Structure 1
Amino acid sequence: MSNITSPLPREVADAYVDELIALDPVTGTFLGVKESSSRLPDTSPAGQEAVAELLRTTLARLDEAERQPGADSDAERRCARLLRERLTAELAVHDAEEGLRAVGNLSTPPHSIREVFAITPADTEEDWAAIAERLRAVPAALAGYRESLALGLERKLYAAPRPTATFVGQLTEWADTDGTGRGWFEDFASAGPDALRPELDGAARAATAAVVELRDWMRDVYAPTIEGAPEVVGRERYARFARYFNGTDLDLDEAYAYGWSEYHRLLAEMKAEAEKILPGAATPWVALAHLDEHGRHIEGVDEVRDWLQKLMDEAIEALDGTHFELAERVRRVESRIAPPGGAAAPYYTSPSEDFSRPGRTWLPTMGLTRFPVYDLVSTWYHEGVPGHHLQLAQWVHVAEDLSRYQATVGMVSANAEGWALYAERLMDELGFLRDAEERLGYLDAQMMRAARVIVDIGMHLELEIPADSPFHPGERWTPELAQEFFGAHSSRPADFVESELTRYLTIPGQAIGYKLGERAWLLGREKARERHGDAFDAKAWHMAALSQGSLGLDDLVDELSRL
């Protein structure tokens, strides 16, 4: 009789991470796996199918693992539920052949290919030798992506025209970042050591040539072929994407109604704060426009990076020991300026698994050198501390108590974005928004997330605008109306609004997770508080909540309520 025992769910999950890294070295680099630094993934249809086959194989292994003794423990159960939900959602997207029309202004294979260079280790000559090899892999990776899109054209699986046009513009910028004929990859490679200069320069020029080749094909073949294709995805595709990004099968009509209820609540609060800044302002956004001219500002790109670093450092000092208990390595976070040629929204990248690369926040400047404070404070509470950084770095910190999967690649977008939006609200509750200027900026950011729920669901499902709306009541949403509505209810400049709407057309169902995730976090906290009564310890609850790893919205409220 064999003494060999089958693996438990957490072992299956971690084996999946290892096998995924072998297929997707971009994921490996984000996790800090040095061996990934010289490679790029196969983005062709065959490469996509290889990943899908790994999903199927892992689900079969999970079936067996869940039958093993010990698989019903809380730790194994929680990991198994996440793994099954995530892999099933990913497989549904693959089986619908969405990877054959993945075009947009972010989160496409070419975006990942470019962005991974910004976090690839570049400290030694050996590191740069790996980078040179990765640069040489760019043409094949972009050719594989083009092969996938060409198959999509054969099967009449078309991307939306507007994101396609934006992507063509981005490729043009990547190929010539400053109008001198020098591309982004060449700029990046210029920081390498002189000993590798010919090798790096040659590889970078080849990468730029591949970008130009993809741009020309997208402009001259792909875009004309998809001309007239729908900009929106419809209810069936939207529901599939919403499951992937939120970890639950949403009642989309209820979520749409919730977005409107938040809109009305926030509008009333914004009007009250705006009155303190500019009495008699016709709308809160008139008051915000006044702040654009007369409010506090940071002048200079280096200066805003340093100011954001100080803001996060001060938040850590104030929160650690009072509302959180942070490990020393979690306390480290860096402020960075995002490379040009991407989307307009700020973002965060997690630390490597060994924390040799810290968590980082990234600010796209969009060519600006003057930055209003009201637009930065709550945003960096969201991206940095106590938002994305505290949650995602804490997951990495406790990975050995969870599983590698739960702490890294198993992230559910709505869980993370919901925590980050909850973190903004928490800082408001704790009094960190010091005046009407900062608080109106926070409410403006909250309104943006409520508007996302309204327009993302509304335009993709072509829903009717409610009769009590002050904006085009009774009409049905279109992308044009969505952009007009978003622009009228945001302090952001026109290029940001344009980028945002293109983002919603690119990754439908993702943008709604901020408010829906925040709602789940708030409900979980309230249920835990009701259960504990006067003994409720917010600091202990926060740390327990941040240490349980990723969860879909299906499970998040239940698990938070138990803490």
Structure 2
Amino acid sequence: MSETNTSSAAAHHAPRAATPIDAIAEEWVEKLVDLNPAIGTYIGSPGEHSGYADYSPEGHANMVAATRDVLARLEATPIVDDVDVVTKTEMVSTLKLDLDSDAAQLWKRDLNNLASPAQDIRGVLDLMPTATEADWSVIAERLHNIPEAINGYIATLRHGIEGSVVPAQRQVAEVIAQARQIAAPGGFFDSFIAQAAGVGGSSTLDSALSEGAAAAASSYQKLEHFLAEELAPNATSQDAFGRDLYALQSQSFLGAKIDLDETYEWGIEELARMTAEQQEIAHEIKPGASIAEAIELLDADPSRTLHGTDALQQWMQKLSDEAIEALAGTHFDIAEPMRALECMIAPTHDGIIYYTGPSDDFSRPGRMWWSVPESVTEFTTWREATTVYHEGVPGHHLQIAQAVYNRDQLNTYRRQLAGSSGHAEGWALYAERLMSDLGFLDDPANRLGMLDGQRMRAARVVLDIGVHLGKPKLTGSGVWDWDYALDFMTNNVTLDPANVRFEVNRYFGWPGQAPSYKVGQRIWEQLRDECQANEGADFDLKEFHRRALNVGGVGLDTLRAALLAPYSAS
């Protein structure tokens, strides 16, 4: 790779002069870090972040007041350039949606099995530096601050009980089990601080860590008791959110308004198309084979099986490194700081796979994490090659690290905080399909694995909308319910029963998020096709990707406006 190619990812325009809109955005990042120090950890901002957000009703009121203030200032501030157009559009849209969610009282029932304060309070510890005694001192402080965070969270959920704004019983039961596991002797906190043994800390630090871990575990035990004794008896038996709340959730996760009924019907068609494509590939693997028979054949192939998490981590890293090397300078511009991507085995055992972005100075690289259930010891490469591309390059890592790298043009909010699930996850699915189109999944087994994931994402568009809008079942009578959803998902994925159950619980408790993957992919592909139609023979796919990723993470309506603006003006 030449230096020119290596360094061109952000197009290296002259540094852009900051505008009043940028100043407001930067101040908003500082305010958010002040209100929620975990955000500072997430983006790697300067300082030793050991605190937590105030999860109490009073803390929420402070966040709402700050949101109203920054929104008023933004709306009164004139735009200077095209970058300002995107920043102001995105911030105003996001802030208004946050206020709409507040008005809908969603914060009072913020509890589910994957993405609520119950998980976030513990999860930030995964991103904290652990190399030095000073690092562990900060961790000790944060461990000691967990009880206050949990107390505030309990106060908010108790406030919800008083107003009959409560989560579903199903989600409460799931989080009770999670809290019990985290709080158990020898559980997460004990295992976590055991990592400090090799740092050579003082006896004072050892005591602080031990006491902090004990306090943190005790607070999760307190959360478990509250959930079981107070919230569970008052939780609702109604899983569905209903059309109005679902529409708000969908718009928040996509950063775009969609026709929910049309999307439901499209999801049914897309699921059928994915299934048919899988069947064709099954015949390639073994003539006349069903999808299930092809999968059974691949799962029995020892050359496609990894044994143990060490082998999994090494395989992921190797495939990721090879993808970066192959794509850099050919299909994408990948700057040198972005070439570091660490593939990690997560310290938890939830079964999820996720990505965390680099710190703002790239001192902490982007990381792909695999949370492996304790009972799982074997992994099939044919299923997971596409996962590495989804989480790494050209998926989340290229997308998110590109925005971080583009600091000459984008303020901190645009680089680190702006975005939507539809933009991020839609791009990651777009990237999976792109890698197939580019020949990286020419092995029929790996293509079947890619389609296995794409079929699951199509299925959950149908399930998620079907459940929360009370759609009629696709077969039989009545509307979507838990048992029907579980059967439907079981018939459309190849996950083990425990993971299927976890996934369905996720859709029931986090409405609108799961469809954002496949719907986001649809919108990304529509935007690419619109740009190609506008440019005709001059269309260049690599240039489209450069333009799109340099916008940074935004809602999909904002992305559409940014990418199509040149054609609208002509």
TM-score, structure 1 normalization: 0.93
Q: Aligned partners of 1:323 and 1:85: how far apart in 2?
A: 32
- Give the alignment's Cα RMSD to 1 decimal: 1.6
Q: Aligned partners of 2:380 and 2:276: how far apart in 1?
A: 23
1:37, distance to aligned residue in structure 2 (A): 2.3
Q: Which sits farther off after the overlay, 366-375 or 308-317? A: 366-375
Q: Is 1:158 equivalent to 2:166 in the alignment? A: yes
* Aligned pair partner of 2:334 in 315, 326, 337: 326
Name the SS for the 2:379 alignment partner: strand
* Aligned pair partner of 1:142 in 146, 150, 153: 150
Cα shift readout 1:417-476 (whole Å, capped 9, x = no counterpart): 11000000100100100311111111111101101110000011111245xxxxx25542
Partner of 1:113: 121
Q: Aligned partners of 2:287 and 2:479: how far apart in 1?
A: 35
Equivalent AA in structure 2 for residue 366 of structure 1: P
Partner of 2:300: 293
Partner of 1:73: 81
Aligned pair in 2 of structure 1 residues 59, 191: CA closer, same or farther (>3 Å)? same
Partner of 1:254: 262
Equivalent AA in structure 2 for residue 243 of structure 1: Q
Q: Aligned partners of 2:149 and 2:121: how far apart in 1?
A: 8
* Aligned pair partner of 2:58 in 41, 46, 60: 46
Q: Aligned partners of 1:315 and 1:279: how far apart in 2?
A: 31
* Aligned pair partner of 1:186 in 172, 175, 190: 190
1:340-379 correspondence to structure 2 within 5 Å: 340-342=348-350, 344-367=351-374, 368-379=376-387
1:351, distance to aligned residue in structure 2 (A): 0.5
User: Contact 1:285–1:489 at 8 Å: present in 2 too?
Assistant: no
Cα shift readout 1:347-370 (whole Å, capped 9, x = no counterpart): 100111111110000112112110
1:89-104 correspondence to structure 2 within 5 Å: 89-104=97-112
User: Contact 1:12–1:62 at 8 Å: present in 2 too?
Assistant: yes
Equivalent AA in structure 1 for residue 361 of structure 2: D
1:237-252 correspondence to structure 2 within 5 Å: 237-252=245-260
Q: Aligned partners of 2:476 and 2:226: how far apart in 1?
A: 42
1:562, distance to aligned residue in structure 2 (A): 5.2
Q: Aligned partners of 1:422 and 1:310: how far apart in 2?
A: 22
Partner of 2:391: 383
Percent identity of equivalent pairs = 38
Aligned pair in 2 of structure 1 residues 162, 269: CA closer, same or farther (>3 Å)? same
Q: Is 1:201 equivalent to 2:210 in the alignment? A: yes
Name the SS for the 1:402 alignment partner: coil
User: Contact 2:179–2:220 at 8 Å: present in 1 too?
Assistant: yes
Q: Aligned partners of 1:263 and 1:436: how far apart in 2?
A: 19
* Aligned pair partner of 1:419 in 420, 427, 447: 427
1:559, distance to aligned residue in structure 2 (A): 2.8
Partner of 2:545: 542
Name the SS for the 1:348 alignment partner: strand
Q: Aligned partners of 2:122 and 2:311: how far apart in 1?
A: 26
Name the SS for the 2:279 alignment partner: helix
Unaligned ranges ≥5, structure 2:
1-17
Q: Aligned partners of 2:36 and 2:372: how far apart in 1?
A: 30
Name the SS for the 1:165 alignment partner: helix
Aligned pair in 2 of structure 1 residues 475, 268: CA closer, same or farther (>3 Å)? farther
1:10, distance to aligned residue in structure 2 (A): 2.4
Unaligned ranges ≥5, structure 1:
1-5, 467-471
Equivalent AA in structure 1 for residue 206 of structure 2: R
Partner of 2:6: none
Q: Is 1:519 equivalent to 2:534 in the alignment? A: no
User: Contact 2:118–2:175 at 8 Å: present in 1 too?
Assistant: no
Q: Aligned partners of 1:223 and 1:281: how far apart in 2?
A: 47
Name the SS for the 1:446 alignment partner: helix
Partner of 2:241: 233
Q: Aligned partners of 2:347 and 2:240: how far apart in 1?
A: 29
User: Contact 1:8–1:76 at 8 Å: present in 2 too?
Assistant: no
Aligned pair in 2 of structure 1 residues 315, 265: CA closer, same or farther (>3 Å)? same
Name the SS for the 2:195 alignment partner: coil
User: Contact 1:174–1:341 at 8 Å: present in 2 too?
Assistant: no
Q: Aligned partners of 1:305 and 1:10: how far apart in 2?
A: 40
User: Contact 2:75–2:92 at 8 Å: present in 1 too?
Assistant: no
Cα shift readout 1:245-302 (whole Å, capped 9, x = no counterpart): 11122211011111111111111111101122243334x2342233223361111101
1:36, distance to aligned residue in structure 2 (A): 4.5
Q: Aligned partners of 1:400 and 1:160: how far apart in 2?
A: 46
1:23, distance to aligned residue in structure 2 (A): 0.4
User: Contact 1:105–1:502 at 8 Å: present in 2 too?
Assistant: yes
1:493, distance to aligned residue in structure 2 (A): 1.0
TM-score, structure 2 normalization: 0.92
1:534, distance to aligned residue in structure 2 (A): 2.2
Partner of 2:230: 221
Matched residues, number: 542
Name the SS for the 1:463 alignment partner: coil
Equivalent AA in structure 2 for residue 27 of structure 1: I
User: Contact 2:86–2:562 at 8 Å: present in 1 too?
Assistant: no
Name the SS for the 2:49 alignment partner: helix
Q: Aligned partners of 1:244 and 1:125: how far apart in 2?
A: 40
Name the SS for the 1:411 alignment partner: coil
1:480, distance to aligned residue in structure 2 (A): 1.8
Equivalent AA in structure 1 for residue 546 of structure 2: M
1:31-42 correspondence to structure 2 within 5 Å: 31-42=43-54
User: Contact 1:304–1:371 at 8 Å: present in 2 too?
Assistant: yes
Equivalent AA in structure 2 for residue 359 of structure 1: G
Q: Which sits farther off after the overlay, 535-544 or 505-514? A: 535-544
Partner of 1:3: none
Q: Is 1:172 equivalent to 2:176 in the alignment? A: no
Name the SS for the 2:367 alignment partner: strand
Q: Is 1:306 equivalent to 2:309 in the alignment? A: no
Equivalent AA in structure 2 for residue 272 of structure 1: E
